[in-house]
């Protein structure tokens, strides 16, 4: 293979630059959604794996789902901290790790209850594994909006100056001027 043919196989600078926007820390909103989906799917797979391991030892699938949800939540926090919102954490002068961890768990407490309720409802008609997959998928969207707005939000240092709107003259003064 000749050198020019070999070089054509490598991406151009423009292609590399367009892919770079999807790297963690790029600040691109679409990249944030993509990394959130990746971390959510990874945490969901961990929850399913933890539940499958639990069910090998104990038949109590409700308690197993609760424990596996809590374990997967820690995986989710670490991955979101590193990949999804890592760029805004470096720029922000926000809370420290412990405060973010507490806010994260406070934010997902409600969706955790929703996850458990959906699982307990679905497990009446479906086996445990399809029930956990469905409950994870349905609650994932809620988690993105909660985490994006409450836990990992970017606090901009610069203030936006908005010019005041000019005062409007009261109608009775406009009418008096007209006469």
Contact of 35 with 96, CB cutoff 8 Å: no
pLDDT at 120: 92
Tens of pLDDT, residue by residue over 75-126, are 988 888 888 776 665 554 456 778 888 888 887 888 889 889 999 999 999 9
Q: What distance in Å separates the CA atoms of residue 88 and residue 100, rounded to the nearest whole number?
A: 13
pLDDT more than 90, % of the chain: 23
- Provide the pLDDT confidence category of residue 157 given band limits of 50, 70 and 90: very low
pLDDT at 53: 94
CA 63 to chain centre: 26
**What's the average model confidence in pLDDT over 20-32?**
67
Tens of pLDDT, residue by residue over 125-151, are 999 899 999 998 888 877 777 776 766
Q: Is 120 helix (H, G, I), strand (E, B) or coil?
A: helix
Q: Evaluate if pTM is beyond 0.75.
A: no
Q: What distance in Å separates the CA atoms of residue 71 and residue 78, rounded to the nearest whole number?
A: 11
The two three-digit tokens of residue 67, written as one number: 């424990």
């Amino acid at each position: 293979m000749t050198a020019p043919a070999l070089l054509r196989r490598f991406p151009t600078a423009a292609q590399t630059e367009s892919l770079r926007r999807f790297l963690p820390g790029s600040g691109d909103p679409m990249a944030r959604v993509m990394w959130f989906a990746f971390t959510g799917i990874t945490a969901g797979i961990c929850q399913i794996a933890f539940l499958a391991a639990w069910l090998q030892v104990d038949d109590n699938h409700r308690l197993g789902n609760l424990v596996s949800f809590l374990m997967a939540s820690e995986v989710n926090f670490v991955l979101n901290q590193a990949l999804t919102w890592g760029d805004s954490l470096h720029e922000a002068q926000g809370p420290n790790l412990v405060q973010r961890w507490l806010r994260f768990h406070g934010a997902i407490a409600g969706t955790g209850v929703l996850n458990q309720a959906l699982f307990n409802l679905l497990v009446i008609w479906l086996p445990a594994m399809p029930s956990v997959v469905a409950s994870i998928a349905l609650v994932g969207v809620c988690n993105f909006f909660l985490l994006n707005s409450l836990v990992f939000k970017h606090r901009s240092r610069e203030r936006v100056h908005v010019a005041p709107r000019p005062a409007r003259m009261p109608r009775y003064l406009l009418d008096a001027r007209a006469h």
